[in-house]
Amino acid sequence: MRHKTPLLLALLAGTTAYFGLHWPGARDARGDSRDGSTARAAPAAASPDSGRARSSQMLRTAHYAITSTATRAQTAQVAAAVEHLHDAYSAFFRDAIPPNAGATGLQLVLYRDRAEFQSRSRSSPWAEAYYLQPVCHAYYADGANPYHWMLHEATHQLNRELAGFPRAVWIDEGLASYFGASRIENGVLKPGTIDVGAYPIWWLPELALSGDLQDDLRKGRILSLHEIITSRRGDIGRSVNPHYIGYWSLTHFLFEYRDGHYAAAYRQLIARGGSLDDFERLIGPVERVQGEWYAYLQQRIGEVRAGR
Ligand SMILES: [Zn+2]
């Protein structure tokens, strides 16, 4: 699809100020519209003048070119966050990123609020942000973590444009949720830490699991591992939060369970594309692993509820 240029031009049409250097010229539009759509936010109040056009600004950092209608301070905050992500991701996947792969000028569009994002979104109605290669689109969010939507999409971008991982929905969304919900502490994004101000973590306290896995599956409180691993992008809209909680928790489990018991095997699985057959060969039988993952998810829910 070649629909991004009009969007970018529309944003740039009212440009009166730039941060740093001038927009270098949009790359050719490529990719598909189903990349990396994120999910449900808690409803946010629109600012009173959300409907009005506002001029965009440009900020260039070491790795990113950010077109923004947010304030200068907000844009700088998001810019710092994505650079922290870039550092953390590059270190985390040091051995998986191809030699000489170095992405600069990664393109982000930051909207000042949810209303402006939604008025311009080209993604699913439930999406709160999206990555349409090569551009991430997200808004500056209300709340304690205003950049988590952008971190999520920027992870999709790094999966594709830096690491070049094969496309497997559960892994792509799992990694985006894993990094997107990690905390930034003293200028360092710490993969695997859990920020309760990020999606989908803020829904965990609402997830009332019974302790009976089969009952929770029957009642649709969670998806089975089989459903998560074999899910396709078109499935997500039918139950957005269960899908994202499944994606996040499975990736978190595979990296963190028992101090990384499955982490090396999961890295192989990421590189191979994440099929169900490879999951069972590299990690173990889905039925057995599902029991471990379910207990792990219950523990994480308990921690988030306890504010830890
Ligand atoms: Zn996503």
Residues 157 and 10 in one domain: yes
What is the reported pTM? Answer: 0.84
Residues 143 and 33 in one domain: yes
Range of the domain at 132: 4-42+53-167
Residues 141 and 219 in one domain: no
Total structural domains within the chain: 2
Token pair listed for 160? 């594709």
Tell me the per-residue pLDDT of 88-141, one tens digit each, with 9 for 90 and over.
999 999 999 998 887 789 999 999 999 999 999 999 888 999 999 999 999 999
Tell me, rounded to whole angstroms, the distance of Cα 168 from its chain centroid.
14
**Contact 148/154 with Cβ under 8 angstroms?**
no
The predicted pLDDT at position 151 comes to: 98
Residues 9 and 70 in one domain: yes
Residues 143 and 254 in one domain: no
179 inside domain: no
Nearest CA-CA partner of 155 in 24, 38, 19, 272: 38
* CA 157 / ligand 1 centre spacing (Å): 10
Residue 66 sits in a domain whose CATH number is: 3.40.30.160
* CA 173 / ligand 1 centre spacing (Å): 5
Residues 148 and 261 in one domain: no
Residues 37 and 110 in one domain: yes
* CA 247 / ligand 1 centre spacing (Å): 10
Residues 73 and 153 in one domain: yes
Tell me the per-residue pLDDT of 5-31, one tens digit each, with 9 for 90 and over.
222 222 232 332 222 222 222 222 222
* CA 296 / ligand 1 centre spacing (Å): 22
* CA 16 / ligand 1 centre spacing (Å): 32
180 inside domain: no
* CA 289 / ligand 1 centre spacing (Å): 24
